[in-house]
């Protein structure tokens, strides 16, 4: 039986997190890093195991401690990723590529491929990572980061903020529509794309600074090197589902777009009315469980079925508070 998710921090104040107990150590060749600069940074500072293999509870602790992510968001995102990318029996998740370090795999169609796995959680039109179609969905991409810098110069007087995020999020979508014949932009990616555009503003800005402007040298440190800037204080605001949803509105409203995708040809973006969108958050949860998770574990039984249902229960926790109806346990 896996540990239940940790609760919220007692002290959510801004404080030094790049402290002597958490030095930056560049990853060894065998250490795993992936598409998430937040988790990569926590691993390279020892808030997560430096090898890049962690339990859900370790991830929740680390994102709260290191970045002051709110408990509801930490629990929701972590179990979402763990359910589709992690090993439910050993309780381990790779924050990057597939590895035998997470233990023996359950039978296919389960993937247990780590956070790099395309289309179950990771998706297209990322901020500084290319689309899987082009061959690498997880490495820092200098061309994309340069474009982010130029948008920050143009729309943010040199810093990344929510106005820049709105412009850049739209640009990344337009870019994928125009270049990736397999571009997909439906739930859950529809949500995570907007969330990841808000995260740098919520979590990468020093907690002693309250103007919402992310310095681009600091940004490069997180996105590319996976390091805190010197003397980094975590945010003094605990950003959970409510705070990130408010940021998402600011990013979405200037350039609204419906969920959809290209049809095998560039510039063929077609709306998908079956996808959850921002008007129906409970459908994000319901479809993720019934479609995404279920498709990986259509016939689970025994210990695997038990672990699946236990983790689905943990995943539902933050959603219960929003008034969504729980999907019945798998049988
Ligand atoms: C991207 C997982 C927490 C910042 C991603 C991606 C995954 C992921 C799978 C790739 C999505 C994609 O672009 O296709 C997680 C999980 C978390 C977590 C499981 C557990 C709570 C955080 C935190 C931060 C963060 C705490 C900030 C401190 C970001 C950013 C991106 C991202 C900025 C976009 C990367 C880019 O394309 O440039 N995350 N993340 N994440 N994550 Fe996380
Ligand atoms: Mg991606």
Mean per-residue pLDDT, 180-200: 98
Q: How confident is the model at residue 151 (pLDDT cuts 50, 70, 90)?
A: very high
Looking at residue 123, its pLDDT comes to 98
Is residue 95 within 8 A of residue 33, CB to CB? The reply is yes
Between helices 162-179 and 142-156, what is the axis angle to 10°? 140
Closest ligand 1 atom to 197 CA: 33
In the predicted model, what is the mean pLDDT of the chain?
98
What does DSSP say about strands 184-185 and 260-261: parallel, antiparallel, or unpaired?
Answer: antiparallel
Q: What is the CA radius of gyration of the chain?
A: 19
Looking at residue 1, its pLDDT comes to 77
Is residue 98 within 8 A of residue 112, CB to CB? The reply is yes
Could you give the CA distance from residue 103 to residue 117 in angstroms, rounded to a whole number? 17
Is residue 44 within 8 A of residue 50, CB to CB? The reply is yes
Six token digits for residue 5: 């998710």
Looking at residue 80, its pLDDT comes to 98
Q: How far is the CA of 302 from the centre of ligand 1 (A)?
A: 32
Within 8 A by CB and 6+ apart from 247, the residues are: 162, 165, 198, 201, 202, 239
Q: How confident is the model at residue 2 (pLDDT cuts 50, 70, 90)?
A: confident
Closest ligand 1 atom to 60 CA: 21
Q: How far is the CA of 36 from the centre of ligand 2 (A)?
A: 9
SS3 6: coil
Mean per-residue pLDDT, 107-116: 98
Is residue 105 within 8 A of residue 296, CB to CB? The reply is no
Kindly report the protein residue whose alpha carbon is nearest to atom 20 of ligand 1. 78
Pick from 74, 79, 106: which is nearest to 90 by CA? 106
Mean per-residue pLDDT, 296-315: 98
Looking at residue 129, its pLDDT comes to 98
Looking at residue 15, its pLDDT comes to 98
SS3 313: helix
Looking at residue 246, its pLDDT comes to 98
Could you give the CA distance from residue 296 to residue 48 in angstroms, rounded to a whole number? 27
């Amino acid at each position: 039986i896996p540990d239940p998710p940790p609760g919220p921090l007692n002290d959510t104040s801004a404080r030094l997190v790049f402290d002597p107990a958490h030095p930056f150590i560049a990853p060894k060749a065998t250490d795993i890093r992936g598409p998430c600069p937040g988790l990569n940074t926590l691993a390279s500072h020892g808030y997560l195991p430096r090898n890049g293999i962690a339990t859900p509870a370790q991830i929740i602790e680390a994102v709260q401690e290191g970045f002051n992510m709110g408990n509801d968001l930490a629990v929701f995102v972590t179990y979402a990723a763990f359910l589709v990318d992690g090993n439910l029996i050993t309780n381990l998740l790779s924050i990057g590529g597939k590895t035998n370090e997470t233990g023996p795999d359950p039978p296919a169609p389960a993937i247990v491929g780590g956070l790099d796995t395309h289309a179950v959680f990771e998706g297209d039109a990322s901020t500084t990572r290319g689309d899987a179609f082009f061959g690498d969905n997880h490495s820092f991409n200098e061309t994309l980061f340069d474009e982010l810098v130029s948008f920050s110069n143009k729309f943010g007087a040199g810093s990344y903020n929510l106005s820049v995020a709105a412009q850049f999020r739209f640009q990344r979508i337009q870019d994928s529509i125009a270049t990736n014949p397999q571009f997909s932009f439906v739930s859950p990616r529809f949500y995570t794309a907007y969330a990841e555009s808000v995260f740098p503003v919520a979590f990468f800005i020093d907690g002693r600074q309250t103007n919402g402007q992310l310095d681009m040298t600091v940004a490069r440190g997180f996105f590319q090197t996976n390091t805190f800037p010197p003397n980094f204080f975590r945010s003094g605001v605990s950003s959970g589902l409510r705070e990130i949803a408010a940021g998402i509105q600011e990013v979405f409203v200037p350039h609204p777009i419906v969920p959809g995708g290209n049809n095998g040809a560039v510039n063929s973006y077609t709306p998908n009315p079956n996808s959850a969108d921002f008007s129906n958050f409970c459908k994000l949860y319901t479809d993720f469980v019934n479609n995404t998770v279920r498709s990986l574990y259509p016939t689970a039984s025994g210990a695997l079925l038990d672990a699946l249902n236990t983790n689905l229960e943990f995943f539902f926790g933050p959603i219960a508070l929003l008034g969504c109806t729980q999907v019945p346990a798998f049988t």
